[in-house]
Structure 1
């Protein structure tokens, strides 16, 4: 069996390949999921990591609105459906092994459920963890009081 991603390593620049063939070769985990890293398209800021299954990825590519798979809810999760803080896809790419997605997005407001722009706000420095950013919006405002 030919490894599609090994073939793609030697593919000509700007060559085109059928999406279904590439996704058939993509390496989703045993649960049918793949990590997806969301990055702000114009600044390079890493916003969050979530999981996508093939259905979420196809919906994202089809609609341009980022959709993930919620492991806790066991269903598709359209970013912003509760909070209104949507992600609009600008570009999507698989890594060289076909097991991680990078999504270039246009994020509306905070990406994190904590109300912060990025989920990566706990800076690990020496023997301490420092909170490196403040919430832009109180989470109770985003999601209602628990």
Structure 2
């Protein structure tokens, strides 16, 4: 059975409509990102995970979000340039989205309902909240913004 996750429409950073169906069968690490945040250096660790585990089936997916302190103010071109030049990011980045509130993107509505945070709250607390998704499209676990990417290796290994 296919997960509803793969049917959710998302926009690439270039503004092209797509779904996550091309990532079916892979372990996904979905992260709301920001370029001007104290946690922005996590891009380095996320890219390392992406490179280290890509051959085994991990894909990191970045979803820029400007909802926390206006820390992702740039347009798509600025985001792409920053991530490429500063952190050599090669994992897929998508168009800016809202992860909370009335305009929450359907992807985050789905993820938050399947993997709530502490005390079963669904709200995303800050940039770099991470969702680990199994090969069959199930949101397995949510990690706090302050959880360093290197600290996810054991959880990722279990799913690979």
Q: Above 0.5 in TM-score? A: no
TM-score, normalised relative to structure 1: 0.26
Higher relative contact order (CA 8 A, sep 6+): 2
TM-score, normalised relative to structure 2: 0.25
Structure with greater strand share of residues: 1
Structure with greater helix share of residues: 2
| Structure with the greater alpha carbon radius of gyration | 1
